[in-house]
Structure 1
Amino acid sequence: MKALTALRHALPVLALLAASPALAAADRQTTIELAAEASRPAANDLARATVFAEASGATPGELGKRVNGLIADGLKMARSYGNVRVQSGATHTHPVYGKGNRIEGWRMRSDLTLESTDAAALSELLGKLQASLGVANLSMLPAAETRRKAETEATLAALAAFRERAKVIADALGKPFRIRHLSVSSSGRPPVMPVMRAAAMVADAAPPPMPLEAGESLVSSTVSGQIELIE
């Protein structure tokens, strides 16, 4: 009975000793961190702009009438372009302080956001709106589907580059390899064309379209991860 009890106590130790070569082999595995990046161009086929009405006055009520009237006119004109999406933006009213930190007046600004895949139509509309509204934050960027396509192509290229780089490293060390984990991220920003507020044009003057140049955005994908050399 004592011999049986001693054997039971010895079994966990024997199992650990039997497993220790495998554990030691696992500890000896060489891991390598690496990353690869690829980029693909995406056509800037979506135009986006912010137009705004801004005014100063003695009272918030007076400002509201003026600014809201300008925005209402802008909305009406924008809605006449069926291929331009329009959305109300932020509205801010704040006091203007003078000497003695006393309120001398008020200032108000209200925005509209315009967006279209028809750059010519948006360009024409912006030209007309500049007669009474300011234009800001004008940008050309890829539409959602265009960006997704470029992002997919960039990701596939980055994955291929990662595997190729991993193979070069493993071959140089004379070892096969396996991928332990991967992380994929994408980036790419559209160019933003800041536009200063334009002076109101003469009412009977033909408003010229606002010049727009589409160009391309570069969409990048980065693959980073770890490979393990197989002994």
Structure 2
Amino acid sequence: MLTPKLIAACALAACATGLFAQNLPNEPLKNVAQISASGSVEVQQDLLSISMSTSRDGLDAGTVQTQLKQALDAALTQARQAASPGLMEVRTGNFSLYPRYGKDGKINGWQGSTELVLEGKDFARITGTAGKIQSLSLGSVSFALSREQRAKVEGEAQAQAIERFKAKAGEVSSAFGFGGYTLREVSVNANDQGFTPRPRMVAMSAKSDMAESAVPVEAGKSTVLVNVSGSVQMLPLPARP
């Protein structure tokens, strides 16, 4: 049977053992190299997004809201006729209504705006629809990579980055006189960088011709970049017989 003194002695010994373990110095890492490499693939942007909007102002909030709703409803009716999953998606964007103040700080009117976004892979369908919509004006044109295109190209860039990481790890190990390496840890990060060519020129041309033809657009390219970084344990050369 354990006596109170024996229990206290055991607890003290356990506490001392824990403190001793915590105070042990960590074993320093030896022969570990930090490696990083990247792979990149340039690809044509295949996703087009056109934003169309309009604004109204007046003395009465209800009147302004009604006018915005009418403009948006007319645009939606036109756009939905050409909508198709993946090829052209139609969605509403920002809708705002806020008071306008006079010099005396009192409300003297109301202002508002509404937005419609056409987005998809069928550039001709999207630009043609935008050119037919009369109740809204062109706001902005942007390009990007679709999810499918990004996944495909990201895999290619990742394969490049991994092969370069392995080659660099082997080169570093050999340069330091080691016989090889094992992987300790690794992280993979991907992103894409793209641009929209001449956005201001596109918008100006589209504004003048919108009532008669499709909005002229020109897609750019995106570069999908994958970075692979991590650490490797360099291994000694095999012992000679």
**TM-score if structure 2 supplies the norm length?**
0.77
1:193-204 to 2 correspondences below 5 Å: 193=199
Which secondary structure does the structure 2 equivalent of 1:213 belong to? Answer: coil
Deviation at 1:136, TM superposition (A): 2.5
Which secondary structure does the structure 2 equivalent of 1:52 belong to? Answer: strand
1:156-195 to 2 correspondences below 5 Å: 156-175=159-178, 176-192=180-196, 193=199
Deviation at 1:215, TM superposition (A): 3.1
Tell me which amino acid in the other structure corresponds to 2:230: G
Q: Using the alignment, how far apart are the partners of 1:88 and 1:125 within structure 2?
A: 15
Which position in structure 2 is the counterpart of 1:43? 44
Structure 2 residue 82 is matched with structure 1 residue 75? no
Aligned length: 206
Q: Using the alignment, how far apart are the partners of 2:33 and 2:111 within structure 1?
A: 59
Structure 1: 4+ residue segments shifted above 6 A: 197-202
Which position in structure 2 is the counterpart of 1:149? 152
Please provide the CA RMSD for this pair. Answer: 2.7
Which position in structure 2 is the counterpart of 1:63? 64
Which runs of 5 or more structure 1 residues have no equivalent in the other structure? 1-22
Q: Using the alignment, how far apart are the partners of 2:182 and 2:74 within structure 1?
A: 64
Q: Using the alignment, how far apart are the partners of 1:198 and 1:68 within structure 2?
A: 27
Tell me which amino acid in the other structure corresponds to 1:144: R
2:97 to 90, 93, 98: 93
Q: Using the alignment, how far apart are the partners of 1:47 and 1:69 within structure 2?
A: 26
Tell me which amino acid in the other structure corresponds to 1:57: G
Deviation at 1:185, TM superposition (A): 0.6
Which position in structure 2 is the counterpart of 1:137? 140
Q: Using the alignment, how far apart are the partners of 1:199 and 1:37 within structure 2?
A: 39
1:135 and 1:198 in contact (8 A); partners too: no
Q: 1:212 to 1:199 in 2, by over 3 A?
A: closer
CA deviation profile, 1:186-224 (whole Å, cap 9, x unmatched): 11144243675899879xx95221111123211111111
1:183 and 1:224 in contact (8 A); partners too: yes
Structure 2 residue 218 is matched with structure 1 residue 213? yes
Which position in structure 2 is the counterpart of 1:103? 107
Identity %: 26
Which secondary structure does the structure 2 equivalent of 1:137 belong to? Answer: strand
Q: 1:105 to 1:156 in 2, by over 3 A?
A: same
2:138 and 2:207 in contact (8 A); partners too: no
Q: 1:200 to 1:68 in 2, by over 3 A?
A: farther
1:226 to 222, 231, 240: 231
